Structure 1
């Protein structure tokens, strides 16, 4: 509320003098020049001389009433007036916010339509009778986790289903030539390309791949669905499924506009379970997630016996081994977590030989005394070669170590963008299914405990009670149902009239 104008007598006096002069001048003109045709001017001067003081008087009268009202108002009256003013301001802001919200939605819709127009421009909608059933797509990721989950699902699809893989992982050659066609597209991180430009180029590539391979369903595994994938799938009428690994960091989960409004980017969401603990994901309006069990590629019944597993890895069956699967820098670096773990293993169990899994992207394997270094994918197919393992608490490592009966020391990675490895490791530890080392002291103590064969036996006995994960089969069944729902499009046909009416 603005402050009332203060009473200034001199202002009113000056205005009254000017008003009087104006009226006197008007009368003088009227008397001294009668009939000169100056009637309009006289009228204006008289009206102006009267209106100015009258308006000021009214203003001061209103201001005086407001002032008296404020002086006589009770605190309750003042509070009511203040509340009314605040409510009016809030209402105005709410109306503006609603307007901005609708405007933002409209602009978003226009942007999506423009992107789809750019997708459709060079090609029309395909409606042929043959084509790929499923195109699996993965983001880059720090390892082979996304690929491994999709491979596990693909292995459980019906034998008559056709599928291929598109990945941004530089480790694509590790899965090529295993009965699956693999397409590789370099990620923006791998190329150093500007993100906006990379997305445009990827959209064009994906559009051309879809036009060539003609999938009925696209299944994406990653934490962010690229706009190009959504645009192309919707422009071509292809069903898009998002396989969404759980255990996201809380702050990342809350900040994700896609995860909690999934219908805006995909048609279905599949959430794999986690042996450490399952969770419910709010996918937003219009889409309800499908929950399946934990997904693993290698099942216990598929494991080779210990002697065969050792030979497959180039290890002497007479030796005893510890699997070391940690990132965090070169094992030659004294400050790396892998070097620290290696030192503790040698100290606690000199009779055990550490075996490190080397990244498939490493061209030359450096020889380190007392350490065997191997390239193998999937290495857990040879799990019986090892007494125990020291590994990061990533999704695949945890599901495989438990489901395959391997005692483990889990070392959570604190620097992951999305995966909450600390929470996963702690939940698994509460169930008595692993040991956890989230600092150097705990790592030394855990490795020292794991050197005791009795501790390893106790862990194995508890692990044996865990149900075998069936997530890969359940996810494959869900995708098969989606594929079946899309098969009606293949009934589109054209028949020439001569083929019907020929005698």
Structure 2
């Protein structure tokens, strides 16, 4: 763990208004992006400090946040019990130094070291931001809910189809609307975004976001999608790869662009359509942002129920869906995605969704918490 002493003394002046954001790792940026959505909207005069296991921590530093990093036992070779004890001590030292008025935890797993730390500092206001759509395998983590002062559930557009273990305890949470890091109205215009990305104004652009990390490999589908798209005249493919996993191999086509850029949603007016997994952030950005999207769910056991989200989008006419094992239908589905009338119909239904950013409600709740004396 990078300790607080690595920062300049002027940065670490004791303040009663520190907010400590704690998150786990993952193959995407979901946990960090939700926390940044809240931190960006907290009232001035408070300071957000991040303690994360994510290798995308550089994203936080680029945004101007103080960031501390620790590692998961899978990445440092420690035995699980020893790692949890070390994790507990690292968190306790950080809390003693920062004296935060609140700890904001965003993860599915509540590690033993986290649960024990919360037990040892019962007066600390702790908030678990716990997105829904859990698989049954994650249900045991719900036993730790009582360790937190409050559990906040970010809204889920596909809530009506959610039959995961968090559904039964939904009434015990503070529920807010879906959380997005970037509001759709804050995106660059089509012209400005295309100019920034080096894309021609008269081309059809499709954004492909299917990371190869995790146990569920979407690499073959990704390759087939890109091959079929580039076989069409005047179609450009742009890919953004995660900071957490190696970039997928690019083709030799000048119409295939790859880059690492955050937040990608800020540039989403640049593309006409998208092919994407159905993780919480990418799903809600594309639907609420009215980006016509073919959702290809990552159905790995470690993931949330992405197939349920994709099915909701298909049923509501807010997107298209194709599972990895249905790749034989790819040509027909891409025909629909590239059809102007189909895209306009999808965008129109998405634009009809009533939404305000749940990050605002979470930030206002944190603002109202008492400062530490």
TM-score, reference length from structure 1: 0.65
Q: Aligned partners of 2:82, 2:331: CA distance in 1, in Å?
A: 47
Q: Is the 8 A contact 1:274 1:294 kept in 2?
A: yes
Q: Aligned partners of 2:182, 2:79: CA distance in 1, in Å?
A: 38
Matched, 1:350 2:233: yes
| Partner SS, residue 154 of structure 2 | strand
The aligned residue for residue 242 of structure 1 is 128
Shift of 1:363: 7.1
Matched, 1:446 2:328: no
Q: Is the 8 A contact 2:108 2:141 kept in 1?
A: no
| Partner SS, residue 293 of structure 1 | coil
The aligned residue for residue 179 of structure 1 is 64
Matched, 1:360 2:247: no
Q: 1:376 to 1:454 in 2, by over 3 A?
A: same
Correspondence list, 1:378-417, <5 A: 378-417=263-302
The aligned residue for residue 367 of structure 2 is 480
| Partner SS, residue 273 of structure 1 | coil
**1:100-134: CA deviation from partner (whole Å, max 9, x where unpaired):** xxxxxxxxxxxxxxxxxxxxxxxxxxxx9833431
Structure 2: gaps of 5 or more residues: 1-12
Shift of 1:261: 5.4
**1:413-471: CA deviation from partner (whole Å, max 9, x where unpaired):** 11141400111111121111000001202333221211111111111111110113321
Q: Which moved more, 1:403-412 or 1:349-358?
A: 349-358
Matched, 1:269 2:156: no
Q: Is the 8 A contact 2:53 2:70 kept in 1?
A: yes
Q: Is the 8 A contact 1:329 1:337 kept in 2?
A: no
Q: 1:313 to 1:198 in 2, by over 3 A?
A: farther
Q: Aligned partners of 2:98, 2:144: CA distance in 1, in Å?
A: 29
Q: 1:247 to 1:372 in 2, by over 3 A?
A: same
Q: Aligned partners of 2:287, 2:100: CA distance in 1, in Å?
A: 35
Matched, 1:310 2:194: yes
Q: Aligned partners of 1:334, 1:186: CA distance in 2, in Å?
A: 26
Aligned-residue CA RMSD in angstroms? 2.5
Q: 1:415 to 1:215 in 2, by over 3 A?
A: same
The structure number with the bigger radius of gyration is: 1
Shift of 1:143: 1.1
TM-score, reference length from structure 2: 0.86
Q: Is the 8 A contact 1:133 1:162 kept in 2?
A: yes
Aligned length: 350
Shift of 1:186: 1.6
Shift of 1:260: 5.0
Which structure has greater helix proportion? 1
Q: Is the 8 A contact 2:241 2:247 kept in 1?
A: no
Q: Is the 8 A contact 1:328 1:337 kept in 2?
A: no
Q: Aligned partners of 1:447, 1:134: CA distance in 2, in Å?
A: 45
Say which of 35, 47, 50 aligns to 1:165.
Answer: 50
Shift of 1:367: 4.7
**1:173-207: CA deviation from partner (whole Å, max 9, x where unpaired):** 12213121111112222223222221122222112
Shift of 1:361: 4.4
Shift of 1:157: 1.4
Q: Aligned partners of 2:338, 2:193: CA distance in 1, in Å?
A: 22
Q: 1:432 to 1:175 in 2, by over 3 A?
A: same
